[in-house]
Structure 1
Amino acid sequence: MQATTYTGTTPTAIAGIASTKIILPDLVSHCSFDIKINRHRKQATAASKKWLFRGDTNLTLKKRRSFHGLKAGLLTSMCYPDAGYPQLRVCCDFMNYLFNLDNLSDDMDMTGTQTTADVVINSLYHPNTYHTSSRAGRMTKDYWRRLLSTSTRGPQQRFVETFDFFFQAITQQAQDREDGVIPDLESYIALRRDTSGCKPCWALIEYANNLNIPDEIMEHPVIRSLGEAANDLVTWSNDLFSYNVEQSKGDTHNMIPVVMNEQGLDLQSAVDFVGDLCKQSIDRFNDDRINLPSWGAKIDKEVGIYVNGLAHWIVGSLHWSFESERYFGKNGRDVKSTRVVDLLPRRA
């Protein structure tokens, strides 16, 4: 992997130009998919928060408020709008759990990330024989046992394999952070497709909709391309929306500083560059959707539900990003309207 060492220059000044604000690309208008919200949203959200908070002695009032403002239940309900309550609840639990892991991994070194990975992956592969007192392990076993009781084998296997990839990727991310490395764009894209955590969420589309699509069809190049296009949109748009908070902490695991560093662009030009890539990923998804092959009426119906699930993730994640307080605080709707983001000062 070609990379450069990050020497402490703020990401907003990598190209030599200090900035005080950025203008986000208009991704919402570029995405024409319909928004749906699951009718079990309130019930599943309340139950999942209770599950997340239970037994967490380190959960301060500030962290509790942060999770309320996250609105992970809304995201889940927009991304799995047709799921029954038991399936939606499992998806909600995983989403809350994944955000919790993401927050923890931001503060972990490589050793801490690897230790957590060992606990979680062993809990998934050996839910009945692996024993741990770790809270992450207990939570993993809890939602995983519920998923196993109602899921077919294919989604189970894809979930475990892709979650394993997630931990391998965030371990590499932790190593890059320790070494002060900004990867090249190609390497970053490959790594980001796994650090996003989207791939196990795609397996949950199958689970949430009670699908049983054969493995060879899920491995078909067009199906894989659709999943990759959806992953890229969710991931790269997230880099745009999370950039402000991340730059204030000096975090360079984001496509914007990667592009600035590799191509010598100023901040706004890098934002525009990433925005164009996001729009291209939506266009790729639409093109692949038109070119879906046919496998017969029964399988085509299930494949159609799966592809619709990817579309729900694309449009749901875009709109949720402005409803959540994770990226723009309580100003999300104003930012959605104006697309102007005032940059936070760099933290000491």
Structure 2
Amino acid sequence: MRTIALPPLRLPFPQKLNPHNHQAWPHTVEWVKRFNLLPEKAIPYFRAQDYHWLSAYAFPEADLEQLILINDCMTAFYLFDKHWDDAPPDALESMQAPLLDALWGRPPGDAPEGPLENAMRDMRRRMMKYSTDAWMTRFCESLEAYFKACVWEAKNKSNSQVPDVASYIRMREATGAVQPSFELAGVLGLVQIPPSVLEEPIIKRLNQLANHEITLFNDIISLEKEMRVGDMHNLVFIIQKQNEKNGTECSLEGAMKQAAKMHDDEVLEFLELEAKVPSWGEPLDTEVRRYIDVLRCWMRANMDWSLMSTRYKTPEAPAA
């Protein structure tokens, strides 16, 4: 039961659901078993989880094969968190190095690769069925940025360092693994938009705002769970600490309201900016609208899944 009520939050985007949702999930469970990504005793718990709903809400237009691959990718992100939990920074960097080799398609080193590395190579091989080199590079770069941000977070935990609000928000763009999740739309050919257009300032800002909305909501809904396990990398807690440092009394409830206002401000800016997107001419305008809809679907998906998920309601079963 929550002791801090969730504030009302604005997100006026419709929910969409992929019709292949239930058909795709058993394939991912078998993929986890085939690559020995979890011990056998953890498989029944994993099978019963609801991670596939996130993929199905986020990518309603994906076909069955694409949705299975998206599920596998989301599962890999989940497993990174489980395997890296509480790892010291140096150990974390060592764990990440062979994964980065697999991610970029580099030849394996002398040491045998483990289950996660083998699974990563399998995902890359299947992604390249759809992806251009440019999109795969974007995906790899964004996932590598996530890896590096996880090391930054681990160093903070190791040194009992609480970042300031601005630094945290900047790094949170990477620690949430949101950007590689967005990039899947281009990697899998769900949007036919040149990566160069994504560098246009207005599109980059829409992308950033969607990223912020997702991570802000995640911090709001996960606050109590993270407090239970002593993880203070949460914007609500950081807002409270920064207020106290500046001599302003601030309760967690007050910090939660500040975070909620930040959330709604980001959504409002997204809506205002979306209405100002210029025309590049057809067929590119259609693809830009499709990409913006990916951002909308991801925001809605994250909120809907988070509210239904057991992840934020009860402690998770151990991975091993």
TM above 0.5, one fold? yes
Identify which of 211, 217, 232 aligns with 2:197. 217
Identify which of 59, 62, 76 aligns with 1:83. 62
How many residues end up aligned between the 2 structures?
Answer: 307
1:230-269: CA deviation from partner (whole Å, max 9, x where unpaired): 1111111101111111101111111111111101221100
Unpaired stretches in structure 1, ≥5 consecutive residues:
1-19, 331-348
TM-score (norm 1): 0.84
Say whether residues 1:153 and 2:153 are aligned partners.
no
Amino acid at match of 1:125: W
2:247 corresponds to: none
- Distance in structure 1 (CA, Å) of the matches to 2:162 and 2:288: 38
- Distance in structure 2 (CA, Å) of the matches to 1:200 and 1:55: 22
The structure-2 alpha-carbon separation of the partners of 1:120 and 1:83, relative to structure 1 and needing over 3 Å to count, comes to same
1:295 corresponds to: 280
- Whether the aligned pair in 1 keeps the contact of 2:59 and 2:297 (CA below 8 Å) is yes
After the TM superposition, which of the residue ranges 101-110 and 154-163 deviates more from structure 2? Answer: 101-110
Say whether residues 1:312 and 2:297 are aligned partners.
yes
Say whether residues 1:103 and 2:85 are aligned partners.
no
- Distance in structure 1 (CA, Å) of the matches to 2:37 and 2:55: 26
- Distance in structure 1 (CA, Å) of the matches to 2:133 and 2:154: 32
The structure-2 alpha-carbon separation of the partners of 1:114 and 1:75, relative to structure 1 and needing over 3 Å to count, comes to same
Say whether residues 1:139 and 2:131 are aligned partners.
no
Higher relative contact order (CA 8 A, sep 6+): 1
1:126-170: CA deviation from partner (whole Å, max 9, x where unpaired): 25x225421111010011100011112332111001011001100
* Secondary structure of the structure 2 residue equivalent to 1:297: coil
How far apart are 1:209 and its partner, in Å?
4.4
2:6 corresponds to: 24
2:239 corresponds to: 259
- Whether the aligned pair in 2 keeps the contact of 1:158 and 1:203 (CA below 8 Å) is yes
- Whether the aligned pair in 2 keeps the contact of 1:24 and 1:272 (CA below 8 Å) is no
Amino acid at match of 1:85: L
1:165 corresponds to: 145
1:272-294: CA deviation from partner (whole Å, max 9, x where unpaired): 11111111111121112111111
- Distance in structure 1 (CA, Å) of the matches to 2:214 and 2:46: 20
Amino acid at match of 2:5: I
- Whether the aligned pair in 2 keeps the contact of 1:41 and 1:77 (CA below 8 Å) is yes
Amino acid at match of 2:195: D
* Secondary structure of the structure 2 residue equivalent to 1:190: helix
The structure-2 alpha-carbon separation of the partners of 1:145 and 1:220, relative to structure 1 and needing over 3 Å to count, comes to same
1:327 corresponds to: 312
- Whether the aligned pair in 2 keeps the contact of 1:152 and 1:212 (CA below 8 Å) is no
The structure-2 alpha-carbon separation of the partners of 1:280 and 1:107, relative to structure 1 and needing over 3 Å to count, comes to same
Amino acid at match of 1:77: A
- Distance in structure 1 (CA, Å) of the matches to 2:173 and 2:108: 29
How far apart are 1:55 and its partner, in Å?
4.4
- Distance in structure 2 (CA, Å) of the matches to 1:66 and 1:225: 39
* Secondary structure of the structure 1 residue equivalent to 2:101: helix
- Distance in structure 2 (CA, Å) of the matches to 1:188 and 1:221: 22
- Distance in structure 2 (CA, Å) of the matches to 1:85 and 1:311: 21
* Secondary structure of the structure 1 residue equivalent to 2:162: strand
TM-score (norm 2): 0.91
- Distance in structure 1 (CA, Å) of the matches to 2:296 and 2:205: 13
Unpaired stretches in structure 2, ≥5 consecutive residues:
245-249, 316-320
- Distance in structure 2 (CA, Å) of the matches to 1:53 and 1:242: 29
Identify which of 244, 264, 269 aligns with 1:279. 264
- Distance in structure 2 (CA, Å) of the matches to 1:148 and 1:289: 31
